Amino acid sequence: MTSDHTFVIVGASLAGAKAAETLREEGFDGRLVLIGAEDESPYERPPLSKDYLRGEVGRQKVYVHEERFYADHGIELRLGRTGVGLNTGNELVLDDGAALRYDRLLLTTGAEPRRLAVAGGGLDGVLYLRSVNDSDALRERLDRGGAAVVIGAGWIGSEVAASARQRGLDVTILDPDTVPLERVLGREVGALYRDIHHDHGVRMLMETRVERFEGGTAVERVRTSDGRAIECDIVVVGIGVQPRTQLARLGGLYVDDGILVDQRLQTSMPGVFAAGDVAMAHHPFYAQRLRVEHWANALHQAPVAARNMLGRADPYDRLPYFFSDQYDVGMEYSGYARTWDRVVFRGDPTSREFIAFWLAGDRIVAGMNVNVWDVADPIRRLIRDRVTVDDRRLADPDVPLDQLGLVHGGAAA
């Protein structure tokens, strides 16, 4: 599109930054505006619960681009601003009253932490982690030492607990499920992460709910629903996130658990697209809508949205993928398993060097490699090609992954 067009991106996130980058790479030479609610240039979130939180890397580690990138590429970076309305005539209204007319609009507004509604939630020292400033505030607390209670044993809670423990704090995890990450990994694999934390000295209080936080002006203890009192210096709440859909709702876009978009990432309003944590996209492989909250989704979805803003019709059909590092245990998860029949292990899970496969019938729906590398691509191929597999060969490390199932939909080799 030529220079008389204006493209606006609301959300100076990883997705927003990568979309702007792609638009310039694809030759868009019109006006390009990137709007961010924070005063920070676009940054990546994975380091915020890991090496950046622990103080092992500096602020430059988290930025998506170098400082001059946006000016050098003619990208108007408006920070500290939010979109508050979408008017007829393709007009975006900002919180300072300014109005921007656009030819194409991309919403990459991301997500925000779910709040824990219990008494004492406003006490000093009850923290959430989403932004780089949140990570700075939490690191300052970790520097003081003491005892930390982490509410929630999902990915954020587990990673924060590992980082706090590595910094020498006494750490307790509370979660209502029976094992960490149970809703994603199931009890069998979740139990492995329970044991990892236990082996590093974390107190695991599973099947435990928070009744209230107690203290004077600052949190001093967590009272559980079964009557226990856990003394602490800080509390970190990590109970999931919810998509930031306010602007989309105000603009009359279709919204459910996220902004509803088709496989091309276009919303119910022509010329308006969404990507990243906020997008609930129709996935052609799964024939259903998915909202994926992980880094890789934002990284790969945004360029597809950008190209489609330019008139392409590319579907976003990349399989979900995420990674996590906790202590000396690194993992990659590929696929999407809401239900499954069984889990097959390749390697000894107790060695913390293995691959786990989630199967429905005779096909793999998800795979996770733990401290085993360079296997994500063949795992994704097994899932995407819907290869039929034999459990014994799948579990046998002497059988290369690329030799499992020779015929699409046929009998196992």
pLDDT digits (tens, 9 = 90+) for 167-193: 999 999 999 999 999 999 999 999 999
User: Whose CA is closest to 48, among 137, 123, 119?
Assistant: 137
Q: Does 371 fall in a domain? A: yes
pLDDT digits (tens, 9 = 90+) for 277-313: 999 999 999 999 999 999 999 999 999 999 999 999 9
Q: Does 158 fall in a domain? A: yes
pLDDT of residue 14: 98
For residue 412, pLDDT over 60 is answered with no
382 and 364, same structural domain? Answer: yes
Give me the chain's average pLDDT, please.
Answer: 95
pLDDT digits (tens, 9 = 90+) for 246-287: 999 999 999 999 999 999 999 999 999 999 999 999 999 999
The CATH number of the domain where 346 resides is what?
A: 3.30.390.30
Q: Does 121 fall in a domain? A: no
184 and 135, same structural domain? Answer: yes
Residues forming a β-bridge with 61: none
pLDDT-derived band at 2, boundaries 50, 70, 90: low
Q: Does 272 fall in a domain? A: yes
249 and 235, same structural domain? Answer: no
pLDDT digits (tens, 9 = 90+) for 23-37: 999 999 999 999 999
How far, in Å, CA of 128 to CA of 242, rounded?
A: 13
Q: Does 392 or 410 have the greater pLDDT score?
A: 392
pLDDT digits (tens, 9 = 90+) for 323-355: 999 999 999 999 999 999 999 999 999 999 999
Domain C-terminal end among 239, 269, 284: 239
Tell me the DSSP string of 268-283.
Answer: SSTTEEE-GGGEEEEE
How far, in Å, CA of 158 to CA of 177, rounded?
A: 13
pLDDT digits (tens, 9 = 90+) for 72-95: 999 999 999 999 999 988 999 999
Q: Does 349 fall in a domain? A: yes
**Model pTM above 0.85:** yes
User: Whose CA is closest to 411, among 394, 393, 395, 387?
Assistant: 387
Place of tokens 């859909």: 245
Q: How many CA atoms lie less than 13 Å away from 25 in the CB half-sphere?
A: 11
The CATH number of the domain where 81 resides is what?
A: 3.50.50.60
133 and 226, same structural domain? Answer: yes
pLDDT of residue 411: 39
235 and 144, same structural domain? Answer: yes
165 and 145, same structural domain? Answer: yes
What is the three-class DSSP state of 363?
A: strand
Instruction: Output b/e per residue, 238-251; b: 16+ Cβ within 10 A.
Output: bbebebbbebbeeb
Q: Give the domain range for residue 268.
A: 6-111+242-309
145 and 232, same structural domain? Answer: yes
pLDDT of residue 60: 92
Q: Does 120 fall in a domain? A: no
Count of structural domains, the chain: 3
250 and 225, same structural domain? Answer: no
pLDDT digits (tens, 9 = 90+) for 356-408: 999 999 999 999 999 999 999 999 999 999 999 999 999 999 999 999 974 44
161 and 98, same structural domain? Answer: no
Q: What are the residues whose beta carbons fall under 8 Å from the beta carbon of 35, sequence distance 6 or more?
A: 8, 9, 10, 11, 12, 78, 81, 82, 83, 94
Q: Does 314 fall in a domain? A: no
Domain C-terminal end among 187, 208, 239: 239
Q: Does 413 fall in a domain? A: no
233 and 130, same structural domain? Answer: yes
pLDDT-derived band at 3, boundaries 50, 70, 90: confident
For residue 409, pLDDT over 80 is answered with no
State the DSSP code for 42: P
Write phi, then psi, for 131 (nearest 5 degrees).
Answer: -105, 170
pLDDT of residue 293: 94
150 and 93, same structural domain? Answer: no
153 and 107, same structural domain? Answer: no
